[in-house]
Amino acid sequence: MNQALRDARVKTTCPYCGVGCGVVATRHANGEVSVEGDPDHPANLGRLCSKGTALGDTVGLDGRLLEPHVDGAPATWDEALSLIASRFAQTVAEHGPDSVALYVSGQILTEDYYVANKWLKGFVGTANIDTNSRLCMASSVAGHKRAFGTDTVPGTYDDLDLADLVVLTGSNLAWCHPVLFQRLLATRQARAGTERPLTLVVIDPRRTVTAEAADIHLPIRAETDIALFGGLLKHLAEADVFDHAYVAAHVSGLEDALSAVAPLDVDTVATTTGVDTALVHRFYRLFAATQKSVTVYSQGVNQSAHGVDKVNQIINVHLATGRIGRPGMGPFSITGQPNAMGGREVGGLANQLAAHLEITNPAHRAVVAQQWGAPRLAEKPGLKAVDLFDAVADGRIKAIWIMATNPVVSLPDADQVKAALAACPFVVVSDVEAATDTVRYAHVALPALAWGEKDGTVTNSERRISRQRAFLPAPGAARADWWQIAEVAKRMGHGKAFDYAGPHAILAEYARLTGAAAALGPIDLDLTDFIDIPRERYDRLEPVQWPAPASGPSGGRFFANGGFFTPDRKARMVAVSAPASRSDATTFTLNTGRVRDQWHTMTRTGRSAKLSAHMAEPFVELHPDDATRLGLTAADLAEVESAHGRAVLRVVVQDRQRPGAAFAPMHWTGETAAAGRVNALVTPKTDPISGQPASKSARVTVRRFEAAVHGFALTRRRPVTQGLPYFAVGKTDTGYRLEFADAATPTDPVAFAARLFGVDQATVGLDWVTLIDARSGRARIAARLNGRIEGIVYLDRAPVAVARAFAVQLFDDPASSKLDALLAGRAGSGDHDPGRTVCACLGVGVNAITGAITRGHATVAGVGAATGAGTHCGSCRSEIARLIDDATAPQSV
């Protein structure tokens, strides 16, 4: 057991989003783990969001993959690794190096990434290694490289505090990067009424919770942001707020960029974006008048067939005004994943080498080959994620190793990915979970370390490197991802190059490579402070922002005084034309995204009952006019279909949606829903430069999903859902909750319930309680064994009207004997129904909040004082504000 494990409280880093919050994890004697925010970590200063707060709920070993498996049977590490080495070697020998691939993840640590890249690019001889970060921020990487010559994030989080104007575009920061958002709101509140107020502008087709908190919301049509920022560039030129001295000294391409936006007067922009002319004017005037402005962008910009152009149009605006690299100024890409940045740094994308070196540059290749002692360094870029799986599908790639990601759920055209893996001759999957949609297709499944067991580093969106430290022992035979790769490399004859004493030795080697890269010319990514870093220093490493040179201070901003990483050290403004907008009255533009309390494909957050309570089903959000036109009301089920796939989703009707647009979250999988994999609907179309998929603009049709019976169930065992055309399963504290619908009414409701609960109907001692009304089609059926409720199911012809949170509360309470109340499905007098969870951190339901409002608490702070809601991470405060608005709005008569 290492030093970290002997300590009761271990400082580590949250494994979810790119904010990269510091966490203090405590392992208690009873095996439970509690977490709190690290007050000393500069990214969060002690704050955590609901997901970070619930990390302790996610570290159990239920469902973990704990030993290697070959063809579904347990195997030793030596058997599994030797098989991988021989199959990869044989495939390369027969079909060449480009017939094999690695597909990795922003979840793995920088040291894992580094070793994976080194093996495949340097020793196997192909650059066919790509990462799910391709789906997240590849367009930002490409935009940075076009403008700056390298993938450099110029600013720091402090700029959000120092700015007078923060523009959020394509970013639901409130839900996707909550700690950063709360920091922004706190700054705005602190400066309200002062001489320097902070103004928040949100550009998003949806009125998200982020948009609701904005001073100005521009609800643009999807994919019209290039026109909006192009018009802004034109306006800034006309208002004469360019920084001519900065441009003359440090920027090229201004004239071409300006002529490309010449047609974009305000009226044209308003027509293109669908935003009121006066609102466009207001935004442009505000931006022109506010020197300290930061533009934050995220997946809404990146996940587009024009993502790189969008990024460059944003950067153009900042370059022309010289608002870059100075306190409170700059374009700022916020990454989705915890280590997307680390992957970018060590060449996790198929078109890059480690240390920001270029695969297409012979001098760069020579440095890498020499440092690694690489016998056959790849000489050309490999296949990007979507192309890579196309190559699996058409047989060009015959062996693939997938690490820490679930492409059968997360890639666009996900059904095609599933078919590709099913047909691939050799699939290896390293994962923490025994059963994911992707592990199902593994010939070899390797048990990986989960958060809490891993040791290494991650880099957040502001270039800050932090340690993830182990505070739990490795369970079963689980081993680090870097170790798995290194062992295969050794079995392929490369023992010397992969003989690492630990993750510190990998960082030391990577740091040496950044030093060698400096011999080629000025570099941004300087980690020479970590050359030969000993284990003890690595263990104690505090969060540090790069550059981290061997001498001189680390961190800071880039480009205030130019110094770009192009041959002439000037930045490039890129001439960007707005693409023609499409409209089609028969289909909807599907925007995919995230919900507040889930992370990616829910393999971790789905383990937490608290996090599953906020939104328990996959859903499609529609504007009320569209819902009416389609004959849909809230809680109906809808079939959503594209040219690529289909999903069945619960209908949410919200005027925050633009007419003609639909929104669906991407978290649900084949394990958690019958047809909830919304990426099956998404087009595999990608940006031509970055290869990033256009995940926010699939064309879909929406129609009612006809069901004969709707149901809600609570079960102790995982419910048996086979054959149900619609279901969504989630965790409660002591079992599972299930929403479902079926095409036919069960002929024998008790037999149906027994199958759902996973029990034998005739089990001795099993006591069945039934309330069945054949005329209305309503039924409630419960099974008890030795006084404990094994399961309860509610059936109806319409969506079941049961107070979910109340039922879950009774079901989870071991002392509860209120079967009658549970069968009734709603609270009687003397019972408390918390209602749908609003505050996940403190478990506060909507009924407690509306009760507080009714009692006269008409502010978010007041509701917080009365109920606790919103007083921890703050992510639910916008929702509380909306409940207050709804309750206090004048009622029409």
Contact residues toward ligand SF4 (CB under 6 A) are 14, 16-17, 19-21, 44, 48-49, 51-52, 177-179
Q: Which of 689, 681, 690, 623 is nearest to 651 (CA)?
A: 623
Give the H or E element holding residue 772: strand 766-773
- Helix/strand/coil (H/E/C) assignment for every residue in 182-198: HHHHHHHHHHCCCCCCC
Closest distance to ligand SF4 from the beta carbon of 10 (Å): 16
3-state secondary structure of 886: helix
Determine the Cα–Cα distance for residues 305 and 691; give it in Å rounded to an integer: 8
- String of b and e for 199-208 (b: at least 16 CB within 10 Å)? bbbbbbbbbb
What amino acid occupies position 279? Answer: L
Contact 832, 862 (CB under 8 A): no
DSSP per-residue string spanning 153-209: ----THHHHH-SEEEEES--HHHHSHHHHHHHHHHHHHHTTSSS--EEEEE-SS--H
Closest to ligand SF4 by CB, 51 vs 398, is: 51
Closest distance to ligand SF4 from the beta carbon of 18 (Å): 7
Closest to ligand SF4 by CB, 52 vs 456, is: 52
DSSP-derived secondary structure letter, 613:
T
Closest to ligand SF4 by CB, 45 vs 434, is: 45
What residues form DSSP beta bridges with 104?
131
Q: Which of 6, 31, 332 is nearest to 158 (CA)?
A: 332
Closest distance to ligand SF4 from the beta carbon of 48 (Å): 4
Closest to ligand SF4 by CB, 230 vs 343, is: 343
Closest distance to ligand SF4 from the beta carbon of 36 (Å): 11
Closest distance to ligand SF4 from the beta carbon of 517 (Å): 29
Closest to ligand SF4 by CB, 187 vs 745, is: 187
Closest to ligand SF4 by CB, 48 vs 782, is: 48
Contact 110, 117 (CB under 8 A): no
Q: How far is CA 253 from CA 319, 558, 825, in A?
A: 10, 20, 66
Closest distance to ligand SF4 from the beta carbon of 335 (Å): 11
Closest to ligand SF4 by CB, 22 vs 143, is: 22
Closest distance to ligand SF4 from the beta carbon of 603 (Å): 15
Closest distance to ligand SF4 from the beta carbon of 458 (Å): 10
What amino acid occupies position 776? Answer: S
Residue 525 tokens, joined? 């990514």
Closest to ligand SF4 by CB, 19 vs 203, is: 19
Residue keyed to tokens 């080697």: 509
Closest distance to ligand SF4 from the beta carbon of 873 (Å): 7
Closest to ligand SF4 by CB, 464 vs 557, is: 464
Contacts of residue 761, defined as CB under 8 A and 6 or more positions apart, other chains included, come to 750, 751, 754, 768
What residues form DSSP beta bridges with 641?
646, 701
Burial of 141 (0-12, 13-18, 19+ CB in 10 A): buried
Closest distance to ligand SF4 from the beta carbon of 30 (Å): 24
Q: In what order do the strands lie in the sheet with 426-431?
A: 73-74, 69-70, 444-447, 426-431, 399-403, 100-104, 129-131
Angle, alpha carbons 258-264-267 (nearest 5°): 155
Closest distance to ligand SF4 from the beta carbon of 56 (Å): 13
Closest distance to ligand SF4 from the beta carbon of 353 (Å): 28
Contacts of residue 310, defined as CB under 8 A and 6 or more positions apart, other chains included, come to 139, 143, 170, 225, 226, 229, 297, 301, 302, 304
Closest distance to ligand SF4 from the beta carbon of 37 (Å): 7
What amino acid occupies position 834? Answer: P
**Ramachandran region, residue 631 (left: φ > 0; alpha: ψ -120 to 50; beta: rest):** left
Residue 171 tokens, joined? 């970013």
Closest distance to ligand SF4 from the beta carbon of 406 (Å): 18
Q: Which of 329, 402, 331 is nearest to 132 (CA)?
A: 402
Closest to ligand SF4 by CB, 16 vs 559, is: 16
Closest to ligand SF4 by CB, 188 vs 872, is: 872
Closest to ligand SF4 by CB, 177 vs 570, is: 177
Backbone phi and psi for residue 421, each to the nearest 5 degrees, phi listed first: -70, -35
Closest distance to ligand SF4 from the beta carbon of 173 (Å): 10
Closest distance to ligand SF4 from the beta carbon of 451 (Å): 11
Closest to ligand SF4 by CB, 52 vs 711, is: 52
Backbone phi and psi for residue 357, each to the nearest 5 degrees, phi listed first: -90, 155
How many Cα neighbours within 13 Å face the side chain of 769? 20
Angle, alpha carbons 364-365-369 (nearest 5°): 125
Closest distance to ligand SF4 from the beta carbon of 49 (Å): 3
The gap from C-alpha 339 to its chain's centroid, in whole angstroms, comes to: 11
Closest to ligand SF4 by CB, 24 vs 393, is: 24
- Rounded (10°) CA dihedral 142, 144, 149, 151: -90
Closest to ligand SF4 by CB, 20 vs 68, is: 20
Closest to ligand SF4 by CB, 179 vs 680, is: 179
Residue keyed to tokens 């047989």: 395
Closest to ligand SF4 by CB, 186 vs 422, is: 186
Measured from each CB, the residue nearest to ligand SF4 is: 52
Determine the Cα–Cα distance for residues 347 and 356; give it in Å rounded to an integer: 7
What residues form DSSP beta bridges with 462?
none
Closest to ligand SF4 by CB, 456 vs 711, is: 456
Determine the Cα–Cα distance for residues 287 and 844; give it in Å rounded to an integer: 39
Closest distance to ligand SF4 from the beta carbon of 53 (Å): 7
